[in-house]
Structure formats: structure tokens, C-alpha cells
Amino acid sequence: MVFRKLPGVSASGMGLRLSQKFVFLLFLSGLVTLCFGALFFLPDSVRLKRIFLSKNENPAVTVGSDNELSKKVPGDPEHLRAGLKGGEGANVKLKVSRKPSVTHGARTVERSVGSRAQDERSPARAQEPAARDDYEAFKKCLLKPALGKNKGTPSDSETLQRREKVKEMMKFAWDNYKRYAWGQNELRPLTRNGHIGNMFGGLRGASIVDSLDTLYIMGLMEEYEEAKEWVQNNLNLISNGEASLFEVNIRYVGGLLSAYYLTGAEIFKQKVVELGEKLLPAFNTPTGIPRGVINLGSWSWGWASAGSSILAEFGTLHLEFLHLSQLSGNPLFTEKVMNIRKLLNKIEKPHGLYPNFLSPVSGNWVQHHVSIGGLGDSFYEYLIKSYLMSDKTDQEAKKMYYSAMEAIETNLVQKSPGGLTYVAEWRGGILDHKMGHLACFSGGMIGIGADDGPTEQRQHYLDLAAEITHTCHESYSRSATKLGPEAFRFDAGAEATATRLSDRYYILRPEVIESYMYMWRLTHDPKYRQWGWEAVEALEKHCRVDAGFSGIRDVYASTVSHDNMQQSFFLSETLKYLYLLFSDDDLLPLEDWVFNTEAHPLPVIRKTCLQEHGAKHDHGQTDLE
């Protein structure tokens, strides 16, 4: 006993002096505090929590709680691509890319974050679909064939020739990846070896998974079959490394979902549901706002980690998680992202704006920095796309998007002295007159949302989309290489040009070309195809090397210096958007498909149609009902 270890203390403890009693009580209280506090730094364990919590108590805040949100900034810069659309190149600050997360408004969730371990770790296995007709039901609910009448082949010879050039670029990039970096995440084309990095927590083959749908859409079937075989035999989801929740979701989950919906191959469905299960522990926080980093192994650190969550990371899960519920029959995926939306609707927003950083523990905004570029981008993208993917039934997502757009126009949209429209950043009420390459997706986003805005605003939104896309094109045309910098400014006499050395690089990013593709489909103005072809010529001249494609360090230098990295999103996004730009509109028609922020096409969920065609699971509910 403790008493026997104190000098001069009898076994009964009656001989304690006052000072000894004080020392003993101080020691005992410290020991109890230490042991109790250590509980929350142990790996997640529902058994441990049940020691202190009754079955009806949850350590997490329910959807209806008063707690607010906050965001986490992953410590490793490679995780910062959620704004982060990620660069692995030298001297590249990874940033948050555009990936907003919004959930289906047809359903409110009252489930708290602290779910049972069974729910968190193996939801899909517990609810395997009874029927195998999901894919057939989905196909019957498309308005048009996914690949069009003739695979989107354009009728005029010049456009066809340009499309074939983009296809050749894809094959060249793929062949070199296969030759020098097969199975690793990305190709280093100058040194002709592979790169793994630490964004994916030990997962491999990022370029393979990211390329599946691009290869299939382009008709590169031999290469597609190679990629499919690798996924079946070599994609190992057992990993103990720390991964970016955002990056794994948009690249791996998005890539596998898209491959399944395009091909119906069951291996993609099996892998994506298994991977989706591994992401659920990230939501074990007091507010339900997920941490930015997740360990994909058998353990999780619960909500002991500090820091903020990033708007573009926790806001860019909605599209993929709704489809995970669709395929697995498990509503937990949908509940998790609906909880995020519920909390965001409760929290106060300065001037109607969504700051970029939120605490997943306290639910408070951490900083009042607002941007539709890195750190914020895809949150807004996923709001309008959630509405579109719901077959325009998700009225909550629609309301959130147009309210955010009103606040952005009021506070951030600016006109330069030279007449260029741009979207500035907001830092606690002070405007920073800069626009990032990542923010150039917003031309396409505003464009696809124009038709569903208030009637009197529809043409205005389409005009705004065209103006922003024009500004982003100017950032390309004003450089020596005709490629755009990472960020460009509108102050000190500068317009649409980078004024800092650290902003001059280009890492094969897709956002400007993405807006060209959307604006072409919405307007059929031939300038968008011409601008896309200018980008192809610049990529060929400055980024193509002997063994692949590489980013460059300075777009204003006439003699380029390469960063030795062929990003996986170059295969998934940049080349795919270029191919679609030079294809007919019936190749992945926008009436049926919504692209996630990694350009992986996901089908519109038409619940009534799916019910009619029997896409039900064994728990008796129709998908996403």
C-alpha cells in the first residue's frame, strides 16, 4: 500500500502528520489526474470510453449541439493541398485545393460523432447489399450514354486532331510512369524514378488510381486493363502511415468510385468501400469535424490531436461519402458529412463568409482568413455540386452556395484599374489583392451554378464566370512560357502577374483549363478551345521532357528549370479536362455527371429512378433515403 512506503506512517495511517497528509493527498490527486488524462491520448477504444460513459452518453457533440466548428492545418506541408491541390515539386507550398464538402439536404442527422467501434470500422461489411444490380440500376437512370453516341468524337478535323494530341500526351505520361515509377505514387521524370511522399499514409499507386477513368474515357484500354490489374492485385489498403484525409478521399476514393461507375467492375466497388471504412475514425472529434490527418492502420488517436481543420479539407467529402453510402448501403458515411453541414449552419459567419480554419475540438473559427483559393476553394465547389448531384433536390446545399456567393461578391470580388475581375483574399477585414491559381476553378464553378440562381441573376453569374476565366487566361498570356504562376497580384502596379519569386512556379495545375472546359460547354464560344490549345502548346514546349512531364520553377523565365515531378493530378485533371474540351458535349454530359475536385466523374443520384429499378440494400431502405 502507499501508506507503507511513507516513512513514519503506520499501517492504519493514523500516525500521519498534517504535512504528510498534505503531501500524500497532493501525490494521490496528481496520480489520478495523470491517469485519467492519459486515457484521451491512448488509441481510440470504445471499451475505454465505456468505463466513463454510459451507453446513452457520447463523448462527441451531436448534430444539434451548440458547439461550433474549427479546422486543422496538418503539420506536414504535403498535406496542405486541400487547398492543397497538391504539389510535390521542389519549392512548392502545398495548398488546399478546391474541394468543398456538402451533404445531401434531404436528410437531417441526429447521430453523434461517438459511434460504436463496429460502426466506425466495418460498416460496409455489416451491411453488404443483398442485390448485385446497383450498377445496372444506375445505368438505367442516366439520361444519356456515359461515353456519348460516338465517344465524344468531334466532327471537325482540327478539333479531332487536337484531341488526339491530348490523348498522345496522356499515353506518353502513362508509359513513362509505368516504365520508371510503376506502383509508386508519382514519377520523377528527370531522374527517371518514382516518388512516394507522405500524403497518402503508405498507400501506393496514386497515379494509377487517379488515371483509371482518364484512360477509360480516352479509349486507352490496354493501359486501363494494366491499371485495373494493379488495383486488383497490388492496391494494399493496410497501412499504418499518417495520410491526408482530403487527398486520400479526392484521389483514391474519387478515382475508385468513378472507375466503378464507368465500368461496373466489382473490384473497384470492393476496394473503395473498404477504404471508406478506414476514413471514418477521422470524425471522432468532439464536434464531428474530421481531423485533417488519419492513420489508415488498425488504430486511431481519437481526438487527442491538436490544431485546426481546414475548410477545403472537411468541406470536400460530401460527394464521395454520399456515393459510399449509395454503394455500401451504410448511412453512416452520409451522416458524417451531414453533421458537418449541420454544424456549419449553426456557427456564426463573419459578413456571411466562411473562414479557412476551424477547431475540431472547440468548434470555433481559429482565424478570419477567407479565400476561394488554397484552403477554401473546394468547399464552395462541393456546395453547388452537391445540389447538382442530388438531381437538384438538395435545397440546403443550394441555399448555402448562393448565400456564400452573395457574401463573396460583396466582400471579395474586385475590378482592377485595367478592367480585370478577380477574387481577392480577406484577412480579418483587410483585403489582400492576390488570386491563386487554385482560385481559377471558380470561373467554371460560377458558370455551372448560373442557371439555378435567382432568375434576375443568371446572366450576371454567367458574365462573372466569363470575366474571372478571362483574368486567369491573362495570368497565362502575360508570362514568357504562356503558363500561369501559382499566384498573381493586383497591387503596386501589377495586374495578373506574380510579383514574388515564391509565386512564379507552375506544377501542371488544371484549374484554368477546368474553367475553359466548363465555359466551352456553357457558351460554345470558340475562344475557350483556342485558349486550351495554347495551353497544350505551352505544356509541350516547356513541361515535356524525355521521360514524362514536369512542372517548372519560373513561368517568366525564357529558359525553364524543371521541378522533376509529374503530378498525379496532371493525369487525372489537366489532361482529362483538355480531352473533354476538344470532345463533343455528350462525352460525360453534365446532366448526368458531376466531377469531384480531382476531376473524377460521379453520377447524379436520382433516388426516385433508383427506387423504381430496385437499387435496394438488405436493410430494407432505398439508397440514401
Active site positions, annotated: 247, 377, 486, 511
Q: What is the spatial distance between Cα 481 and Cα 543, in angstroms, rounded to a whole number?
A: 10
Sign of CA dihedral 188, 192, 197, 200: positive
Phi, psi angles (nearest 5°) of residue 608: -65, -45
What distances in angstroms separate CA 601 from CA 37, 216, 250, 580, one per listed residue?
45, 12, 11, 12
- 8 Å CB contact between 288 and 115: no
Nearest to 254 by CA among 605, 624, 601, 603: 601
Q: What is the spatial distance between Cα 323 and Cα 258, in angstroms, rounded to a whole number?
A: 10
Beta bridge partners, 242, equal 295
| β-strand pairing of 357-358 with 601-603 | unpaired
- 8 Å CB contact between 382 and 319: yes
Q: What is the spatial distance between Cα 106 and Cα 396, in angstroms, rounded to a whole number?
A: 8
At residue 593's C-alpha, the angle toward residues 591 and 596, to 5°, is 140
CA 3 to chain centre: 58
CA 184 to chain centre: 21
- 8 Å CB contact between 173 and 548: yes
- Say whether 597 counts as a known binding-site residue: yes
What 8-state DSSP symbol labels residue 542?
Answer: I
Torsion of CA 22, 28, 30, 35, to 10 degrees: 180
Q: Which residues are annotated as a binding site for Ca(2+)?
A: 597
Q: Which residues are annotated as a binding site?
A: 597
